[in-house]
Amino acid sequence: MPASPTSGSPDDAGSTRTKVGTRPMKTLTKAAVLAVAALGATPALAAPVPVSGTVPVAKANIVRPLVLTASSDLNFGTIILGSYASTQTVTVSQGGALVGCGTSGLTCQGATSAANYLVKGTNNAVVTVAAPNVTITNANNAAQTLTVVLNAPATVNLGANGNSTGAPFSIGGSLDVPVGAGDGLYAGTMAVTVDYQ
């Protein structure tokens, strides 16, 4: 009669390997189940919340480039020195009128004019005018200079035809004439600029 298998027989050894080999699988399966359960227990994220009240918008204002042209100079005419004890001021208004001659020891002759400009750009836009003081130099003696304080409008409205016909404006100014000013033709560049407001 064949002897019964012992605990150390090959069959038992195989059975033992099977039992020992299934323990890690069971452990991994339990870990996976626990992980899924943990994920299922995580609360859902809150829904997106819109802006309360006035909602901001993105904006862009597109305008045409400005074009500035000049059609006349600021001209004080001819100033004849007379007898006076202190600096006298001669003024040309934005309308071209001359003030300051005849009763101040100065006599003025010849045509006078304001500087006239035309600016074109986007319809109905408003532009600002920058008109810094001008240094005018004697053509006979570069060391002799005078200062013209310009009088320009602060802003110009281009109106409904700003792109086609544009908007005109004029610039006047005041010139201080000191005692003993050197004779000669004084001139200097007017650095007038415009920009959108």
The residue extents of the domains of the chain are 67-196
Distance in angstroms (rounded) separating the CA atoms of residues 32 and 28 = 6
How many CA atoms lie within 13 Å of 44's alpha carbon, on the beta-carbon side?
3
Rounded to 5 degrees, what are φ and ψ at 99?
Answer: -135, 140
Look at the block and give the residue holding tokens 């004439």.
177
pLDDT at 107: 95
pLDDT at 104: 82
Distance in angstroms (rounded) separating the CA atoms of residues 179 and 174 = 16
pLDDT digits (tens, 9 = 90+) for 80-121: 999 999 999 999 999 999 999 987 899 999 999 999 999 999
Q: Which of the 8 DSSP states describes residue 85?
A: S
Question: Distance from CA of residue 21 to its chain's centroid?
Answer: 77
* Contact (Cβ atoms closer than 8 angstroms) between residue 91 and residue 173: yes
pLDDT at 35: 53
* Contact (Cβ atoms closer than 8 angstroms) between residue 179 and residue 83: no
Residue 26: partners with Cβ closer than 8 Å, 6 or more residues away: none
Higher pLDDT, 1 or 173: 173
Look at the block and give the residue holding tokens 């002799």.
144
Q: E-assigned strands of the chain? A: 67-72, 78-81, 88-92, 98-99, 106-109, 115-120, 126-130, 134-138, 141-151, 155-157, 167-177, 186-187, 193-196
Question: Distance from CA of residue 165 to its chain's centroid?
Answer: 26
pLDDT at 45: 77
pLDDT digits (tens, 9 = 90+) for 127-185: 999 999 999 999 999 999 999 999 999 999 999 999 999 999 999 999 999 999 999 99
Higher pLDDT, 71 or 35: 71
pLDDT at 15: 46
pLDDT at 127: 98
Q: Which helix (H) or strand (E) holds 98?
A: strand 98-99
pTM: 0.74
